A and B are shown apart, each in its own frame.
Chain A
Amino acid sequence: MIAKTLQDMFRRYRRPGDIVFALLFFAFALFLLSQLGTETKVVKRTKWFAQPALWPMIAIWGMVIFSGMHLLSSVLSPRIPGRLKEVTFWLMSLEYVSYFLIYVVTVPWLGYLPSTMLFAAFLAIRTGFRSRGAIGISLTFGAVVAIVFRALLQVNIPAGRVYEYLPDSVRVFALTYL
């Protein structure tokens, strides 16, 4: 009866893969706890409420306690099939993260307008929109975003280094607006 009560108490609304996340988060919290002494300082002649270590300590202990309870609730709840499939889904997102980071590194070299158009077209092809119309729409979308944010709203994005090699007639325009 007690075991059932305990299990019921910690049972909650969850999905496959929950225990993997719970375990990783708990391990992360424990890691932070192990670093608490070296990554924060206790300053002499300073009262407790002004100690730089106070709030990291509160936060990390909170993370450890509640992620521990979260993990416990996952362990005590019935297993849901599909854990591997779910974790694979999470990992699949890393493919798009890598494309995004390549795009981020490319912008200061190639310029905002050309890189955004290329990135939009590439993602369209990668996600299965391979018709001419779809690629055209993605190129147009990339161009509109770049023009609206850099040329019209003058958002702080550096000009591409390749713009320096453009003919004089268009170089200044490209450096300012594209």
Chain B
Amino acid sequence: MDNLISGFAILTQWQVVVALIIGSVGGVIIGALPGVGAAVAIAILLPATFAFEPIVGLTLLLGIYGSSMYGGAIPAILINTPGTAVNALTTYDGYPMTKRGEGHRALSLAYSASFFGGIYSILCLIILSPVLAWVAPHFGSREIFLAAFMGILLVILAHRGQIFSAAMLAFFGIFLSTVGLEPVKYTKRFTFDQSWLSSGVDLIVVVLGLFAISQALLLLVDKDHAPGDTHVRGSIFAGLKELLGLKRVATVSSSLGVIMGMVPGTGEFTSQFLSYTYAQKSSKNPEKFGDGSPEGLVASEAANNAVPGAAMIPLLALGIPGEALTAMMLSVFYVHNVIPGPQLFADQMDFVMALYMSLILLNVIVLVFLLFSTNLLLKIIQIPTRFLGIMILILSFVGVFSLRNSVTDCAIAAGFGVFGLILKRLNLPIVPIILGMVLGGIMEVKLRSAMARVKSPLDFIDRPIAAILFVMILGIILLHIRTLVQEQRERLKPQPTGDEDSTQQG
């Protein structure tokens, strides 16, 4: 109870309140702009947040993370263009509803389902907190090494059909984490006697290049287009009532979002896929899915909004980010010398509580904002894409240059920008690079400290949690091999090569 009260006290600081409002409202606008997305915004704002208190910086970034998917649903439903990549599934049922003249109903349902998913995941986080506080101290170096390894494995295997490229990019990320002067034996690694490589490759420079600058270049080089003018009429409140009739789908989808959010390397897409499949299979009208089914819309939006809250679990409890956005947030912790992990729950529970409460508040602020400002947002999103590219490029400069006023950093970020552009055009994943960089560094440090006490290979897994993680890793690999064999049998039948024009341009 004391933690709750002191957590609330942290939250009442005016800087936190301002960060919460700017993050929430800004996140909705950013999410609604097709081609921007939370990753771009967080990458740009990351260095600026280093000047703030950790709770202020994290609240701002969490606000953007948690609210962008609300905003992304608007263009997905009304103009068939997902605002963020994770709203792609929302177009399946949202846009057909708009075509039937039920745009306001679809938006209202999407907002309500998102709100339900968001609040549900935070409640799970709060309920799980005592368990986390109990389990987290049992995670030593071996367990954290195994959990990080599992994260890398899952992020590779989650990219179905792109496993080779995901693996090569994850290893590239691990390689990047090793460049520079290593801190134990003080030897140089892959510096090629260049002084600018001695300090290594900064994660934020890579993140800004791969997410923000690449997107700016993509928008600038590609043909210009702007979303058309549209507006909604009717009550947006009705969806809250309608959601009560779909509470089974909403609850199961949110639960899947929470589970997938907790598992490193999976996230929104897997949770949406599972919840949509569940909703379709358990529906009385499965044929309506993809043609304006309210259940499909609820499944998609509840699942993706349940992920941000749950993704904080491995980050806060173990210091292991499950995806790119939480990997970026990890750097905010490190800059302020707040080390997420078991000690955070023991020493700074009020800080954790303040984060939980800010997550609840951001969902409330976003819902209230959206209920009254959807038509205003529809005007804002008409910014031409090339102009958006100009805006992102200018803002990216602040992010990179403010780190240490280095022209070299900007040149490296620009290089990664071109690399990111190529990956996006080729539909290859970017996230494995970021997770490889973060988890690779964690694995190196933890393996070194863990092996100091290990005499035989079996000692590595002689503790219960390490053994469970090891069995899980084996299970994941075996399950994947089984799926590959099954798919191989299916593939022997002739099938089309796929949509060759599809890219990740957002």
Q: Given that A47-B451, A127-B224, A155-B48 are contacting pairs, would A104 and B410 also be in contact in the complex, using a CB cutoff of 8 Å? A: yes
B190 touches A123 (CB 8 A): no
A-B contact sample (13 more), CB < 8 A, given A15-B426, A59-B172: A8-B488, A15-B427, A21-B422, A47-B451, A55-B177, A56-B175, A58-B174, A63-B175, A103-B397, A108-B405, A123-B393, A129-B384, A155-B48
B448 touches A49 (CB 8 A): yes
Chain B CB within 8 A of A5 CB: yes
A55 touches B498 (CB 8 A): no
Q: Which of A56, A92, A128 contacts B178 (CB 8 A)?
A: A56
Docked complex Cα distance between A101 and B443 (Å): 35
Residues of B with C-beta under 8 A to A145: 394-395, 398
Residues of A with C-beta under 8 A to B386: 127-129
Residues of A with C-beta under 8 A to B175: 32, 56, 59-60, 63
A49 touches B451 (CB 8 A): yes
Interface flags for B214-225 (1: CB within 8 Å of A; 0: not) read: 001110110010
Using CB atoms, name the residue of chain A closest to B183: A52
A43 touches B164 (CB 8 A): no
Chain B CB within 8 A of A160 CB: no
Chain A CB within 8 A of B418 CB: yes
Residues of A with C-beta under 8 A to B218: 93
Provide the main secondary structure of the chain B interface: helix
Docked complex Cα distance between A116 and B397 (Å): 10
B440 touches A32 (CB 8 A): no
Q: Given that A89-B221, A90-B421 are contacting pairs, would A50 and B184 also be in contact in the complex, using a CB cutoff of 8 Å? A: yes
Docked complex Cα distance between A150 and B147 (Å): 41
Residues of A with C-beta under 8 A to B402: 149, 155-157
Interface flags for B493-506 (1: CB within 8 Å of A; 0: not) read: 00001111111000
Docked complex Cα distance between A123 and B168 (Å): 35
Interface size on B, residues (CB 8 A): 77
Interface flags for B355-387 (1: CB within 8 Å of A; 0: not) read: 000000000000000000000000000001011
A residues adjacent to B (C-beta < 8 A): 5, 8-9, 11-18, 21, 25, 29, 32, 35, 39-41, 43, 46-47, 49-50, 52-56, 58-60, 62-63, 66-67, 69-70, 73, 77-78, 80, 86, 89-90, 92-94, 96-97, 100-101, 103-105, 107-108, 116, 119-120, 123-124, 127-129, 134, 138, 141-142, 145, 149, 153-158
Docked complex Cα distance between A29 and B199 (Å): 22
Min CB distance A150 to B, Å, is: 9
Min CB distance B500 to A, Å, is: 6
27 pairs, A vs B, C-beta closer than 8 Å:
A11-B497, A13-B162, A14-B427, A15-B502, A17-B426, A29-B168, A32-B190, A40-B187, A40-B190, A47-B451, A50-B184, A50-B451, A56-B175, A63-B172, A63-B175, A70-B164, A97-B217, A100-B410, A100-B414, A103-B397, A116-B394, A129-B384, A142-B394, A145-B394, A145-B398, A156-B402, A156-B405
B185 touches A46 (CB 8 A): yes
Interface flags for B155-167 (1: CB within 8 Å of A; 0: not) read: 0000001101101
B168 touches A67 (CB 8 A): yes
Residues of A with C-beta under 8 A to B168: 25, 29, 62-63, 66-67, 70
A59 touches B174 (CB 8 A): yes
Chain A CB within 8 A of B53 CB: no
Residues of B with C-beta under 8 A to A16: 500
Residues of B with C-beta under 8 A to A154: 51
B389 touches A127 (CB 8 A): yes
Residues of A with C-beta under 8 A to B500: 14-16, 80
Min CB distance B169 to A, Å, is: 8
Residues of A with C-beta under 8 A to B440: 55, 59
Q: Which of B165, B189, B444 contacts A39 (CB 8 A)?
A: B189
Chain A CB within 8 A of B278 CB: no
Within B140-194, which residues are at the interface with A (CB < 8 Å)?
161-162, 164-165, 167-168, 170-172, 174-175, 177-178, 182, 184-185, 187-192
A100 touches B164 (CB 8 A): no
Q: Which of B161, B174, B397, B421 contacts A93 (CB 8 A)?
A: B421
Min CB distance A144 to B, Å, is: 10
Min CB distance B220 to A, Å, is: 5
B410 touches A15 (CB 8 A): no
Using CB atoms, name the residue of chain A closest to B166: A66
A149 touches B48 (CB 8 A): yes
